[in-house]
Structure formats: structure tokens, C-alpha cells
Amino acid sequence: MSNAFPILDLRRFDSDRAGFLADLREAARTDGFFYLVGHGVPDELITTVFSQSRAFFDLPEAAKLGIEMIHSPHFRGYTRTGREITRGKPDWREQIDFGAERPALRLQAGDPAWRRLQGPNQWPTELPELRPAIETWQALGVGIAHKLLRAFAVALEQPEDVFDASFLPDPTQQLKIIRYPGQGQGGGQGCGAHKDSCFVTLLWVEREPGLQVERDGRWIDAPPIPGAFVVNIGEALELASNGYLRATVHRVLSPPAGRDRLSVAFFPGPRLGVTIPLLQLPDALAWQATGPESDPHNPLFYNAGDNALKGRLRSHPDVAARYYADVHAPTGEPASAY
């Protein structure tokens, strides 16, 4: 059976630019999801990241809780199964969140709350090989995302570097390694329906299906393909293109009992504090740009820091209560950005 989503080869941006851009625009304007090959991530790194991830999830609970997210005002660290919230319901997954390894910003009275997001990660001392593998994955992911952003810029008939000032030199780099335990016959909420707040999401799944994409009120399976990232458009591109590109709602279903699903999700986004640029599209495209989606359950903000923070506050109410008690999340049902 053929796949519901196209497979794009990133190398074609250099070797067959016109054809690649046409395929990218078509994928972006239909579902906003596609598979990406030709990305240059070596097999050895993939093997290391997944073996180290499994080793972490196999650690005793006490070791995992030693880096629990509640210890981090930057929303970094381990989250137990059922402790992250999407659309008001617990997600059936355990995970570790990492960001770009940077020092915490010096805060002053009156600073916007999103400045608290920057800071160091929590790393498990039991697995010293995990940190260099994750940091290498992040560095490669930033390069892939930058090339995709340049491709999107050209596809939208903009200067190729139009997103550079919003992305470089220090983009946000939220990365999650996630384990979805099996439950019952499967099909429960592994991760509830949501959009991502970043520019693009780069998802790598070990083997188990479960990802679904909303299309015209139906859920379409997006199973893993060996050697390929699953890529989807995030809210930052929806905002920048005035809705010509749309972030797509998606979810993950739990596998059945006795199986699990392991994935690495990378969310490269705009630099904290920048205002996402509103592109001036040519008339041939602008008439199809109907504005960002107006959803009272998930308001969108052109300030990248505000847009990133809203999902964090809603997804992790325990961390929000400890470190952001002075900040009010937007009203409406939670819609996790991660």
C-alpha cells in the first residue's frame, strides 16, 4: 500500500531545485507532513541515540527521577508516564526533554517570562554517552532545519535567507526522547491532538507506528519509514506565511500491551524574543493566505518566546506552578506545543 504522505530527498534542493521546491510546496499546502531522506544523519548516530535512550528508560525509577523536570525552571529533564498534559488529558508516555545547552539568562524585575526558558539541561550521570549523542543530533538537526527553511523561503518566492535572522545563530532546540508504553489493545492517548510551535518538527521513530495526522476530519496513519524523518510544519511557519502554510493537528496512539514505541522528536524554532516575520507574499500566493488559524484553545503569538512558553505552561502544570506562578497561561483547553 502506498504511503499517504510524500517522500522528499533533501539533496534535490541542490541537484533539482525547481522540482524539489514544487514537491515541497505541494506537500506543505496539502497536509503539511512529509518524509525526508537525503538528510545526512549517519546510521551510527541513530543506533547510538536509540540504544542510549533505551538504556535510560531501563534505569531504576529513582535514577530517572533524579533528573525529573520539576527540578528545572527551563522545562528540561525527565517526565513520568501520565505527567504531561495535552488537551487537558494525560499523555501515556515517559520522556526526557533537552534544549540547547546554554547558561540561564540573568533575570531582572519586569523581564518577560519566556527568558526563564533558557538554561542548562539535566543529564543522567549513569549514561555519559547520551549527552554527546544528543548534542550531535541537535547540531545536525539545526543544519537540516536551516536548509529546509531556506527551501521554504524560495518556495514562497522570498529571499533565500529571509528566515536567517529569526533562526540564527541561537535557535531554540527542544528535543525529546520519548517512550510510549503499551496499554490494553492499544489506541489510547499516547500524545493528544496538538500542533507544534516551532518552524518544523523532525521526528525519528524506531519502528512502532502510532502517529496520525488530521485530514478533513479523519485521522491518517503516518507510519515510520526506515531511514527517513517525518517532518511537519509548525506554528512559526504558519504565522510567517500568514496561513499560506499551516501547522497540522496530529496525535500519537499508544501501542498494544507488551510493545512500546520509541522516538526522538526535535523542534528547532525561532530564537527566543524575536518577532516572527510576516512575509510579503506575491499576489499569486497571497490570495491563498487566509491568516493564521483562529483557535481560542490555542492562540498564536508572533513573539517567539511567548509562543514557545504557552505550550510549556500547559503541558507541565507542576513545573509551571513551581517556577511560573506569576504567569497566566492563555485561556481555553490546553493544546500542547510539544
Q: What does the pLDDT read at residue 328?
A: 66
Mean residue pLDDT of the chain comes to 92
Q: Mean of the pLDDT values across residues 200-210?
A: 96
Mean pLDDT of 199-228: 95
Terminal Cα distance for the chain, rounded: 30
Phi, psi (5° rounding) for residue 57?
A: -65, -20
Buried b (16+ CB within 10 A) or exposed e, 142-152: bebbbebbbbb
Could you tell me whether strands 7-9 and 33-37 are parallel, antiparallel, or unpaired per DSSP bridges? Answer: parallel
Q: Read off the pLDDT of residues 72-102 as tens digits, 9 standing for 90 and up.
A: 999 999 999 999 988 889 999 999 999 999 9
Q: Which residue has the higher pLDDT, 176 or 88?
A: 176
Does position 294 have pLDDT exceeding 90, yes or no?
A: no
Share of the chain above pLDDT 70, in %: 94
Q: Averaged over 112-141, what is the pLDDT?
A: 97
Other Cβ atoms less than 10 A from the Cβ of 21: the count is 18
SS3 240: helix
Give me the amino acid identity at 120: P
Q: Is it the case that residue 297 has pLDDT exceeding 80?
A: no
Q: Which CATH superfamily is domain 7-323 in?
A: B-lactam Antibiotic, Isopenicillin N Synthase; Chain (2.60.120.330)
The pTM score is 0.93
Helix pair 43-57, 130-155: axis angle to 10 deg: 130
Query: In the prediction, which pLDDT does 150 show?
Result: 97
Give the pLDDT band (50/70/90) at residue 206: very high
Pairwise CA distance, residues 31 & 246, whole Å: 8
Residue-range domain boundaries for the chain: 7-323
d(CA 48, CA 232): 24
Pairing of strands 218-221, 211-215: antiparallel
Q: How far is CA 136 from CA 28, 49, 147, 302, 322, in A?
A: 28, 10, 17, 30, 31
Q: What is the pLDDT of residues 235-282, one digit of tens each?
A: 899 999 999 998 989 999 999 999 999 999 999 999 998 999 999 999
Close Cβ partners of 14 (under 8 Å, ≥ 6 residues apart): none
Q: What pLDDT, on the 0 to 100 scale, is given for residue 246?
A: 87
